[in-house]
A and B are shown apart, each in its own frame.
Chain A
Amino acid sequence: MVATVSDALPRAHVSVDAERCKGCDLCVVVCAPRNLRLRPEFNRAGYHPVEFRYQGDRGECTACGLCYWVCPDFAITSVDRRVP
C-alpha cells in the first residue's frame, strides 16, 4: 500500500486555550489514550494548563470529543478530525 500525505498526518487535533484552563484534570481523566496532560509551567492565572499530544501514553487521539464536552471553562476550543 502506498503511503499518502493524509496517512502521515495525525488523525485528530485538539486545540487548547492555555490561558482559560484551570487545570481541573477532567479532560485528562476522560481521555482514554491519554493525549492530554498538565504542563509543569503555570499560565497567567496560576494554574497548570493542559497540553495536547498527538500520541498519548495509550495511543493516538481519535477525535472522540469527550474532553471538549466535559471542559467547564471552554478551554478545549476545538476538536478537528483529519479529512479522509
Chain B
Amino acid sequence: MSAAVGYATKWGALPTLTGAPTHYCAGCEHGTLTRLLASAIEARQARERAVLVSSVGCSVLAHEYLNVDAVQAPHGRAPAVMAGIKRARPDLLVFGVQGDGDAVSIGLLELVNAANRGEPISIFLVNNAIYGMTGGQMAPTTPAGMVTTTTPNGRDVATTGRPFDATRLLLGLDGPAYLRRVFLPVAPTGSADVFNARGALDGEAAIRHAFEVQERGGFSFVEFVSTCWVNWKVSILESKRYAARVLAPLFPPGLYRDRFGVEAR
C-alpha cells in the first residue's frame, strides 16, 4: 500500500502475513505475537526458509495468518517435530508457537528434553495462565486463587501445586542458549487511561534475538506472559491490569540466559 502524496510509509503491510482475518478474541496477545513474528522473520529475511510448527490450542491456526511453511504437531509434541525438521534440514529456520497448556502440561517432556539436548530451534510460549481454547480450565501456570471452570473456589496450591515457571525450569538445564520472558500485554501506567506498549516492542526484539541464536546453533526459548479476558471473565483492559498486578510478579520479565551475547549488540 503506497502512502499518500507527501508521506512515506513508516510501517505498513508485511508480506509474511497472509491477510486472513484472525479467529482470536478481540485484544488477544496471540494476534499481537503474529505480527511480531512476521516482522522478525522479515528482519532476518527468512520468509522462504522459515517453518512454523504449530501446537494445539489457540495457537493452532497461526499457519492461517503467517505466510510460511507450517506443520501442525500433535498435542504437546511441537518441540519433537521441530527437532526432527531441524535435524533433517539444518538450513531452515524452525520455530514454534505453543500455549501454556500445550507446552507446560501435556508437552513438558518434549520441551524439557529438546531444551536439554540444546536443539537449535526457537520456541515461543504464550502463557496466559489458563486453557483458553477448551473453555477456561486450570493450567499448571494458573496463579493461586484464580477462579477457573475446574477450580470454582480458586486454585488451591495445597492440592494442585504452585504456578509452574517454565523459564526457570529451563534455566536449571545446561542446554538452552537463550531464555527470555516478555510481558506482552499493554501495561498500565500511572495514568488510569494510558497504557504502555513496551511488551510488543520488547517481544519483537526477543524474537529476532531468538532467531539469531538458532542460526548460531543454540536452543532459544521466549515466554510471553499474556492474557485471556474471555476465560478470566473480566473486561479486556481489566485483564491487562490483572496481568500486570498478578502475573508480572509471578513470572518476572527479563533476560534469563544469553549465552551468545546477542542482546548486547
Contacts and interface: CB of A to CB of B under 8 A. Distances in A.
Interface stretch (B20-28, B92-100, B174-182, B206-214): B20-28
A24 B32 CA distance: 12
Contacts, number: 110
B41 to A, nearest CB: 15
Interface in B220-242: 236-237
Interface of A: 5-6, 9, 12-13, 15, 20, 22-26, 29-30, 32, 47, 63, 65-66, 68-74, 77-83
A30 B31 contact: no
12 contacts: A12-B7, A13-B4, A25-B27, A26-B195, A26-B236, A29-B194, A69-B204, A72-B22, A73-B24, A79-B12, A80-B12, A83-B6
B13 interface: yes
A69 B201 contact: yes
A68 B11 contact: yes
A73 B9 contact: no
Interface of B: 1, 3-4, 6-13, 17, 19, 21-22, 24-32, 34-36, 186, 193-197, 200-201, 204, 236-237
B8 A79 contact: no
A26 B9 contact: no
A26 B32 CA distance: 11
Contact of B22 (A32, A65, A73, A80): A73
Contact of A69 (B12, B21, B197): B197
B1 A78 contact: yes
Given A29-B186, A30-B197, A68-B11, A73 B31 contact: yes
Given A69-B204, A73-B21, A79 B9 contact: yes
A37 B201 CA distance: 22
